C-alpha cells in the first residue's frame, strides 16, 4: 500500500486473500449514520397514536406472543412504512449522487429536471385511465414516464454538463406540472382525491406489496452505479482524460443517466414526489465522508434513507393526529440547505 | 449646411415612428375582437350583434343582455385587468433584472402572494375571533401584493450575491427554491385547515371563475397605483437597461429605481393574483412578443405589454373554457402550457 494512500487517510484491512482500503474517519462517520437510522427506525416504530414500548415492538417483529392489534400496528402499518421510507430515500440519494457526478453540476437533482413529474404524470394517467389495473402497474408506468422525460430533456438541452440542462429541466418540469393540473382539475373528484394523496409525497399508503418490486429496482440500480463508480471518478477529470484512462464514454454516460432516472422514477411511483433528497444527500455525503464516487454513493444512499425516515416521522408526529406528507417536510428542510449550496457557488454560476 | 433628407429616409423615419402606433392599433383591435368572442361564448352562444347591443343599449328585459352584463362582463373585465397587470409586471421585472427569463412566476411573486393570502385566511381566526369574510376579501389585493413583493425581494437579494451578479441560472434557481418553500408552507396550512382549502382550492390553480364585482373594485386601486408608478419609472428603466454605471452617470439613483419598480411590480401582481390566483408565464411571453414587434422604448413597451397581456389572457380564458367544453380548465393551466415552451426555447437558446 502506497504511502500516498496512507497519507490520504486510508488504512488497509486484510481478510485472508482479500484486502480492502478503508478510511477510519469515513468508516466512523458511516457507523454514526447507521446508528442514527437504527435509532430513528426504532423511534418511528414505537411512537404514534398507539405508543408501543420497544421490547414489544421487537417481540412483534419476531412474531412472539403479542396481542394481534399490536402486532398489526407494528408489522402491518409501521414497519412497511419505515422500510419504504428507507428504501425510497436510499434510492433517491443514490440517484442524486450519480446525476451530480454525471452532469458535473452540484445543483442537479432528479426532481429538478422533470423526472419526478414525468413519473407522476404516467402514474396519474394510469390511475385515471385504467383504474382496474391495480397498483402493481404503477411502477413500470412511472419508470416509462420518467425515462421518456429524461430523454426529452437530454435531447433539448443537448449537453449534460451545462447551465442549459438545469434550465431546460426546470422548464420541462413546469410544463408537466401544469399537465398534471389539467388532470387534477378535469378528472372525477374521487379519482383526484386518490391521486392527490399520493402526489403530495406521502408514505401513509405504504404496504408490503409495494416493497419487493421497488427493492429489486433499487438493488439493480445500485449495482450498476457501483460498477461504474470508477468510470465516474475518471470522467470527473474531463472527457479526454477519461477516454485516455480507458473509459467507454458513451456506455458510462448512458448507464450513469439511465440508472438514476429509473431509480428515481421507481421511488416516485411508490411514494409520490419527494423533492430535495437527491440534491442534499450527496452534498452531505461529500461533506461528512468524502472520497471517491463509490464512497459518496454509499454515503448518499445511507443519508438519503435517514433523511426520508426523519421527514416522514416528523410529518407524522408534528401535528398529530393530522399528518404532514414527508414531501412537504423535506421541502421545508431542503430549501434552506439548497440556498446554502447556491451561496457557496455564488461566484461560479 | 442644410440637412437634406431623401424621401425614402423620411418615409423610413415615419414608418419607425408609426410602428408603435400600428402595433397599438393592432393589439387594440385584437383585444376588442377577443372580448366580443369572450362575451358571446359560453353554455349559451350569443351572436356578436346581440353582445354589442347589450353593451351600448342595455335592455333589462332581455335574458341574453342580463347574462352578458351580470356574468360574462365581470369575467371579461377581470381577465383584461389580470392580463394587463401580469404583462406589465413581466415587462418591469425583465427590465429591472436585465434577464430575459424574469417573470412573476419564476421570481416567486405568485408563490409569495398565494402564501400571504392563505396565511391571512388560516391565521385570522387566531387573532381574536377572526376577521369577517368581506374584510378579508377587501384587503386581499394588498396582502397578495405585500407577499409577492417580499418574496421577490428575497429571491433577487439571494440571486444577486456573488461576483457574477444576477445571472439567469441563479435567478431561476433561487426563484424555484423560494417558490418551493412558500408552496410547501401553503400546502401545509391547507392540509391542516380543511375550511381554507375549500375556499381557495380553485383560486390556487389560477382560475377566473367565482369572481365578484366587489373583488374587482378592491383590486383596482393597488393596480392603478402600480400602473402609475410604472409609467413614471419608464424613462429611468430605459437608462437602467444600458447598465448600472451608465444609469448612475445619467444621474439616476439605481437602487431606488429598482426598489420602486419592484414595489410597482408587487402591487400589479398582487392585484392580479388576488383576482385570479397565481397565473404564470403571461409576464414571460408578453414583453418578448412586444419587443419582437420592434418596440424598444420602455414608455411604449409598458402600455403595449399591458394591452398584449390583456389579449393573451382573454384568449387563454377562451381556450380554457372551450378546449374541454363543457368542462373548464383553470386559466392558469392554459397560460403555462403556452408559456413554458417559450421559457424552454429562451433557456436553450443561451450559450451553455
- Percent above pLDDT 90 for chain A: 11
CA dist., res. A146 & res. A119, Å (int): 5
Distance from CA of A205 to the nearest CA of B (A): 17
Rounded CA separation B132/B125 (Å): 10
Q: What is the C-alpha end-to-end distance of chain B, expressed in Å?
A: 51
Alpha helices (runs of H) in chain B, residue ranges in sequence order: 7-40, 48-56, 63-66, 73-97, 109-123, 133-159, 168-192, 194-204, 213-240, 244-249, 254-276, 282-292, 298-322, 331-349
Taking CB atoms and an 8 Å limit, are B348 and A163 in contact across chains? no
Question: Which residue in B181, B336, B352 is closest to A174 by CB distance?
Answer: B336
Cα–Cα distance between B202 and B214 in angstroms, integer? 18
Q: Is residue B13 over pLDDT 70?
A: no
pLDDT of B352: 40
Per-residue pLDDT band at B341 (split at 50, 70, 90): confident
Instruction: Name which of B170, B183, B333 is nearest A342 (Cβ-Cβ).
Output: B170
Residue A286 has pLDDT above 90, yes or no: no
Predicted TM-score (pTM) of this structure? 0.81
Neighbours of B74 (CB within 10 A): 16
Output the average pLDDT for chain B.
82
Q: Which residues of B touch A (CB under 8 A)?
A: 101, 158, 161-164, 167-170, 172-174, 176-178, 180-181, 183-185, 187-188, 191-192, 205, 280, 324, 327, 329-330, 332-333, 336-337, 340-341, 343-344, 347-348, 350, 352
Where does the pLDDT of residue B338 fall: very low under 50, low under 70, confident under 90, or very high at 90 and above? confident
CA angle B42, B45, B49 (to 5 degrees): 120
Interface test with chain A among B344, B349, B350, B351, by most A beta carbons within 10 Å: B344
pLDDT given for residue A303 in this prediction = 92
Q: What average pLDDT score do residues B101-120 get?
A: 86
* Tens digits of residue pLDDT in B208-227: 777 778 888 888 888 999 99
CB nearest B205 (choices: A167, A181, A343): A181
| Radius of gyration of the CA atoms of chain A, in A | 21
DSSP state of B161: -
pLDDT of residue B1: 44
Rounded distance between C-alpha atoms, residue B213 and residue A279, angstroms: 46
From B336, B341, B350, residue closest to A164, measured CB to CB? B350
Question: For residue A301, what pLDDT band results from cuts at 50, 70 and 90?
Answer: very high
Chain-chain contact of B188 with A332 (C-beta, under 8 angstroms): yes
Residues in chain B closer than 8 A to A166 (CB atoms): 169, 173
Q: What is the mean pLDDT of residues A328-348?
A: 82
Name the DSSP letter for residue B23.
H
Average pLDDT over residues A257-272: 86
How many C-beta atoms surround the C-beta of residue B48 within 10 A?
A: 12
**pLDDT tens by residue, B121-135:** 888 777 655 667 777
Q: What tens digit of pLDDT does each residue of B293-323 get?
A: 888 888 888 999 999 999 999 999 998 888 8
Query: Minimal Cα distance from B180: which residue of A?
Result: A331
Amino acid at each position: 500500500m502506497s504511502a500516498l494512500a496512507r497519507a490520504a487517510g486510508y488504512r488497509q484491512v486484510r481478510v485472508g486473500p482479500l484486502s480492502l482500503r478503508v478510511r477510519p474517519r469515513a468508516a466512523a462517520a458511516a457507523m454514526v449514520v447507521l446508528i442514527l437510522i437504527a435509532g430513528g427506525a426504532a423511534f418511528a416504530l414505537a411512537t404514534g397514536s398507539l405508543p408501543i414500548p420497544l421490547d414489544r415492538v421487537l417481540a412483534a417483529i419476531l412474531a412472539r406472543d403479542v396481542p394481534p392489534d399490536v402486532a398489526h400496528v407494528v408489522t402491518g402499518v409501521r414497519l412497511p412504512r419505515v422500510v419504504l421510507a428507507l428504501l425510497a430515500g436510499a434510492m433517491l440519494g443514490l440517484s442524486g449522487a450519480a446525476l451530480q457526478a454525471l452532469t458535473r453540476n452540484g445543483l442537479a437533482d432528479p426532481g429538478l429536471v422533470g423526472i419526478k413529474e414525468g413519473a407522476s404524470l404516467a402514474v396519474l394517467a394510469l390511475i385515471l385511465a385504467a383504474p382496474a389495473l391495480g397498483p402493481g402497474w404503477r411502477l413500470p408506468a412511472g419508470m416509462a414516464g420518467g425515462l421518456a422525460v429524461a430523454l426529452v430533456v437530454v435531447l433539448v438541452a443537448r449537453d449534460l454538463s451545462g447551465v442549459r440542462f438545469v434550465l431546460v429541466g426546470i422548464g420541462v418540469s413546469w410544463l408537466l406540472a401544469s399537465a398534471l393540473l389539467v388532470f387534477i382539475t378535469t378528472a372525477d373528484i374521487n379519482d383526484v382525491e386518490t391521486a392527490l394523496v399520493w402526489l403530495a409525497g406521502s408514505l401513509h399508503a405504504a404496504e408490503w406489496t409495494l416493497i419487493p418490486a421497488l427493492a429489486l429496482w433499487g438493488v439493480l440500480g445500485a449495482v450498476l452505479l457501483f460498477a461504474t463508480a470508477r468510470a465516474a471518478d475518471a470522467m470527473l477529470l474531463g472527457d479526454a482524460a477519461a477516454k485516455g484512462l480507458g473509459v467507454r464514454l458513451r456506455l458510462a454516460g448512458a448507464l450513469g443517466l439511465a440508472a438514476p432516472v429509473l431509480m428515481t422514477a421507481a421511488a416516485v411511483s411508490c411514494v409520490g414526489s419527494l423533492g430535495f433528497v437527491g440534491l442534499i444527500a450527496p452534498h452531505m455525503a461529500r461533506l461528512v465522508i468524502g472520497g471517491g464516487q463509490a464512497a459518496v454513493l454509499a454515503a448518499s444512499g445511507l443519508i438519503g434513507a435517514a433523511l426520508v425516515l426523519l421527514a416522514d416521522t416528523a410529518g407524522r408526529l408534528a401535528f398529530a393526529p393530522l399528518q404532514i406528507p414527508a414531501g412537504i417536510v423535506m421541502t421545508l428542510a431542503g430549501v434552506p440547505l439548497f440556498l446554502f449550496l447556491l451561496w457557496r457557488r455564488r461566484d461560479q454560476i | 449646411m442644410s440637412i437634406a433628407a431623401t424621401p425614402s429616409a423620411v418615409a423610413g423615419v415615419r414608418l419607425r415612428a408609426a410602428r408603435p402606433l400600428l402595433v397599438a392599433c393592432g393589439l387594440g383591435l385584437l383585444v376588442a375582437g377577443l372580448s366580443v368572442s369572450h362575451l358571446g361564448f359560453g353554455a349559451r352562444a350569443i351572436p356578436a350583434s346581440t353582445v354589442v347591443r347589450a353593451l351600448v343599449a342595455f335592455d333589462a328585459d332581455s335574458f341574453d343582455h342580463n347574462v352578458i352584463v351580470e356574468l360574462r362582463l365581470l369575467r371579461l373585465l377581470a381577465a383584461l385587468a389580470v392580463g394587463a397587470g401580469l404583462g406589465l409586471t413581466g415587462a418591469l421585472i425583465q427590465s429591472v433584472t436585465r434577464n430575459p427569463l424574469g417573470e412573476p412566476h419564476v421570481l416567486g411573486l405568485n408563490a409569495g402572494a398565494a402564501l400571504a393570502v392563505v396565511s391571512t385566511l388560516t391565521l385570522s381566526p387566531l387573532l381574536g375571533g377572526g376577521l369577517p369574510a368581506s374584510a378579508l376579501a377587501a384587503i386581499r389585493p394588498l396582502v397578495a401584493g405585500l407577499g409577492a413583493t417580499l418574496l421577490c425581494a428575497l429571491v433577487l437579494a439571494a440571486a444577486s450575491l456573488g461576483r457574477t451578479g444576477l445571472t439567469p441560472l441563479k435567478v431561476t434557481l433561487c426563484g424555484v427554491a423560494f417558490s418551493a418553500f412558500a408552496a410547501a408552507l401553503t400546502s401545509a396550512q391547507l392540509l391542516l385547515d380543511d375550511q381554507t382549502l375549500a375556499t381557495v382550492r380553485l383560486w390556487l390553480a389560477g382560475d377566473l371563475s367565482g369572481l365578484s364585482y366587489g373583488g374587482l373594485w378592491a383590486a383596482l386601486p393597488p393596480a392603478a397605483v402600480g400602473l402609475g408608478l410604472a409609467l413614471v419609472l419608464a424613462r429611468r428603466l430605459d437608462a437602467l437597461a444600458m447598465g448600472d454605471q451608465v444609469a448612475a452617470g445619467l444621474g439616476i439613483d439605481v437602487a431606488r429605481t429598482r426598489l420602486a419598480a419592484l414595489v410597482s411590480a408587487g402591487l400589479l401582481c398582487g392585484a392580479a393574483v388576488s383576482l385570479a390566483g397565481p397565473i404564470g408565464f403571461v409576464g414571460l411571453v408578453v414583453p418578448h412578443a412586444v419587443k419582437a414587434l420592434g418596440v424598444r422604448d420602455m414608455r411604449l413597451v409598458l402600455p403595449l405589454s399591458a394591452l398584449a397581456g390583456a389579449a393573451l389572457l382573454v384568449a387563454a380564458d377562451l381556450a380554457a373554457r372551450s378546449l374541454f367544453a363543457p368542462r373548464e380548465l383553470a386559466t392558469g393551466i392554459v397560460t403555462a402550457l403556452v408559456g413554458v415552451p417559450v421559457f424552454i426555447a429562451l433557456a436553450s437558446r443561451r450559450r451553455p
